[in-house]
Chain A
Amino acid sequence: MIQAILFVIMIIGGTALLSWPLGRYMNWAMDPGAGQGTPSGFTSAFQAIGGPATGQAQDWKRYVFSLLGFNVVMFVACFALLALQQYLPLNPDGKGALEGTLIFNTTSSFVANTNLQHYSGEVAMSYLSQLAALMWLQFVSTAVGLAALAALARGLAGRKLGNFFLDVQRATFLVLLPLALIVAILLLFTGVPMTFQGSAVATTLEGVQQTIARGPVAAFVAIKQLGTNGGGFFGPNSTHPLENPTFWSNVLQTISIIIIPMGCVWMFGRIIGRMKHAAVLFTVMLVLMGARITGAIGFETEPTHAFASLPITQDVGNLEGKELRFGAAAGPVWAVVTTSTSNGSVNAMHDSLNPLTGLMPMIGMWLNEDFGGVGVGMINMFLYIVVAVFIAGMMIGRTPEFLGWRIEAKEVKFAMMGLLSHGFFILVGTAIFAVTPWGAATLNNIGPHGFSEILYEFSSAAANNGSGFEGLGDNTAAWNIATGTVMLLARFIPIILPLAIVGSLATKRRATESSGTLSVENGTFAGMLTVTVVIVGALTFFPAATLGPIAEHVMFMK
Chain B
Amino acid sequence: METLLSSLRITVATMVICVGGYTGVVWAIGQAAAPDLADGSLITAPDGTIIGSRQVAQAFTRPQYFWPRPSAVSYNAAGAGGSNKSPTSTDLTDRAAETVAVYGATPENPLPADLAAASGAGLDPHITERAALYQAERIARARNVPIDRVNQLIGHSAFSPGGVLTPDRLVNVLEMNLALDKDAAP
Question: A169, B10: Cβ atoms under 8 Å?
Answer: yes
Using Cβ atoms and an 8 Å threshold, which residues of chain A touch B96? Answer: 306-307, 310, 312
Which residue among B77, B90, B122 has the maximum number of chain A CB atoms within 10 Å of its CB?
Answer: B77
Using Cβ atoms and an 8 Å threshold, which residues of chain B touch A204? Answer: 51-52, 58-59
Using Cβ atoms and an 8 Å threshold, which residues of chain B touch A218? Answer: 26, 30, 38
B82's contact among A50, A188, A470, by CB below 8 Å, is which? A470
Question: A194, B42: Cβ atoms under 8 Å?
Answer: no
Which residue among B18, B25, B69, B170 has the maximum number of chain A CB atoms within 10 Å of its CB?
Answer: B18
- Any A CB within 8 A of the CB of B116: yes
Question: B100, A311: Cβ atoms under 8 Å?
Answer: yes
B26's contact among A181, A240, A321, by CB below 8 Å, is which? A181
How far apart are A29's CB and chain B's nearest CB, in angstroms?
16
Question: B40, A193: Cβ atoms under 8 Å?
Answer: yes
Segment at the interface with B among A106-114, A151-159, A284-292, A343-351:
A343-351
Using Cβ atoms and an 8 Å threshold, which residues of chain A touch B82? Answer: 236, 239, 320-321, 349, 351-352, 470
A236's contact among B13, B53, B120, by CB below 8 Å, is which? B120
Which residue among A77, A309, A325 has the maximum number of chain B CB atoms within 10 Å of its CB?
Answer: A325
How far does the alpha carbon of A53 sit from the alpha carbon of B75 in the complex, in Å?
A: 53
Which residue among B26, B118, B166 has the maximum number of chain A CB atoms within 10 Å of its CB?
Answer: B26
How far apart are B16's CB and chain A's nearest CB, in angstroms?
10
Interface size on A, residues (CB 8 A): 121
- Any A CB within 8 A of the CB of B162: yes
How far apart are B21's CB and chain A's nearest CB, in angstroms?
9
With A123-B79, A206-B61, A241-B56 given, is the CB distance from A307 to B116 under 8 Å? yes
- Any A CB within 8 A of the CB of B184: no
Question: B120, A212: Cβ atoms under 8 Å?
Answer: no
B88's contact among A140, A191, A322, A447, by CB below 8 Å, is which? A447
Question: B60, A206: Cβ atoms under 8 Å?
Answer: yes
Question: B117, A320: Cβ atoms under 8 Å?
Answer: yes
Query: Please, which residue of chain A has its CB at the minimum distance from the CB of B171?
Result: A324
How far does the alpha carbon of A306 sit from the alpha carbon of B96 in the complex, in Å?
A: 8
How far does the alpha carbon of A212 sit from the alpha carbon of B121 in the complex, in Å?
A: 13
Question: A122, B80: Cβ atoms under 8 Å?
Answer: yes
Using Cβ atoms and an 8 Å threshold, which residues of chain B touch A185? Answer: 26, 29
How far apart are B47's CB and chain A's nearest CB, in angstroms?
11
How far does the alpha carbon of A141 sit from the alpha carbon of B183 in the complex, in Å?
A: 54
Question: B23, A219: Cβ atoms under 8 Å?
Answer: yes
Question: A211, B78: Cβ atoms under 8 Å?
Answer: yes
How far apart are A542's CB and chain B's nearest CB, in angstroms?
21
How far apart are B109's CB and chain A's nearest CB, in angstroms?
8
Segment at the interface with A among B124-132, B135-143, B144-152:
B124-132
Which residue among A122, A131, A321, A452 has the maximum number of chain B CB atoms within 10 Å of its CB?
Answer: A321
Q: A128-167: contact bitstring with B at CB < 8 Å (1 yes, 0 no)?
A: 0001100110011000000000000000000000000100
How far does the alpha carbon of A416 sit from the alpha carbon of B56 in the complex, in Å?
A: 49
Which residue among B4, B41, B75, B85 has the maximum number of chain A CB atoms within 10 Å of its CB?
Answer: B85
Query: Please, which residue of chain A has its CB at the minimum distance from the CB of B62?
Result: A206
Question: A324, B124: Cβ atoms under 8 Å?
Answer: yes
Q: A313-348: contact bitstring with B at CB < 8 Å (1 yes, 0 no)?
A: 111101111111111100000000000000000111
- Any B CB within 8 A of the CB of A445: yes
- Any B CB within 8 A of the CB of A65: yes
8 Å CB interface, A155-211 against B: 165, 168-169, 172-173, 176-177, 180-181, 184-185, 188-189, 191-197, 199-206, 208, 210-211
8 Å CB interface, B61-89 against A: 61-62, 65, 69, 75-89
Using Cβ atoms and an 8 Å threshold, which residues of chain B touch A552? Answer: 86, 88
How far apart are B135's CB and chain A's nearest CB, in angstroms?
14
How far apart are B17's CB and chain A's nearest CB, in angstroms?
7
Question: A327, B65: Cβ atoms under 8 Å?
Answer: no
How far apart are B89's CB and chain A's nearest CB, in angstroms?
6
Using Cβ atoms and an 8 Å threshold, which residues of chain A touch B2? Answer: 51-53
8 Å CB interface, B17-58 against A: 17-19, 22-23, 25-27, 29-31, 33-34, 37-42, 49-53, 55-58
Using Cβ atoms and an 8 Å threshold, which residues of chain B touch A210? Answer: 52, 56, 58-59, 75-77
Question: B93, A180: Cβ atoms under 8 Å?
Answer: no
Query: Please, which residue of chain B has its CB at the minimum distance from the CB of A73?
Result: B7
Question: B33, A188: Cβ atoms under 8 Å?
Answer: yes
Question: A305, B88: Cβ atoms under 8 Å?
Answer: yes
How far apart are A261's CB and chain B's nearest CB, in angstroms?
20
Question: A194, B162: Cβ atoms under 8 Å?
Answer: no
How far does the alpha carbon of A70 sit from the alpha carbon of B11 in the complex, in Å?
A: 8
Query: Please, which residue of chain B has its CB at the minimum distance from the CB of A204?
Result: B58
- Any A CB within 8 A of the CB of B177: yes
How far apart are B186's CB and chain A's nearest CB, in angstroms?
13
B65's contact among A73, A139, A205, A320, by CB below 8 Å, is which? A205
How far does the alpha carbon of A447 sit from the alpha carbon of B18 in the complex, in Å?
A: 45
B100's contact among A172, A310, A316, by CB below 8 Å, is which? A310
Using Cβ atoms and an 8 Å threshold, which residues of chain A touch B83? Answer: 320-321, 349, 352, 471
- Since A193-B38, A200-B53 are in contact, a sample of 18 more A-B pairs with Cβ atoms closer than 8 Å, ordered by chain A residue number, is A3-B165, A51-B2, A135-B23, A136-B19, A165-B7, A172-B14, A191-B37, A195-B39, A208-B58, A210-B76, A247-B165, A320-B118, A323-B121, A352-B83, A445-B84, A470-B82, A471-B83, A555-B88
Q: Which of B's residues lie within 8 Å of A, judged by CB?
A: 2-11, 13-15, 17-19, 22-23, 25-27, 29-31, 33-34, 37-42, 49-53, 55-62, 65, 69, 75-90, 92-93, 96-97, 100, 105-107, 109-114, 116-128, 161-162, 164-168, 170, 174, 177-178, 181
Query: What are 29 A-to-B residue pairs whose CB atoms are below 8 Å?
Result: A6-B164, A50-B10, A51-B2, A69-B7, A122-B79, A132-B19, A181-B25, A189-B33, A194-B26, A205-B178, A212-B56, A219-B27, A235-B80, A236-B82, A239-B121, A247-B165, A248-B162, A306-B89, A307-B93, A312-B111, A318-B117, A319-B116, A320-B118, A323-B121, A326-B162, A327-B165, A447-B88, A449-B88, A470-B84
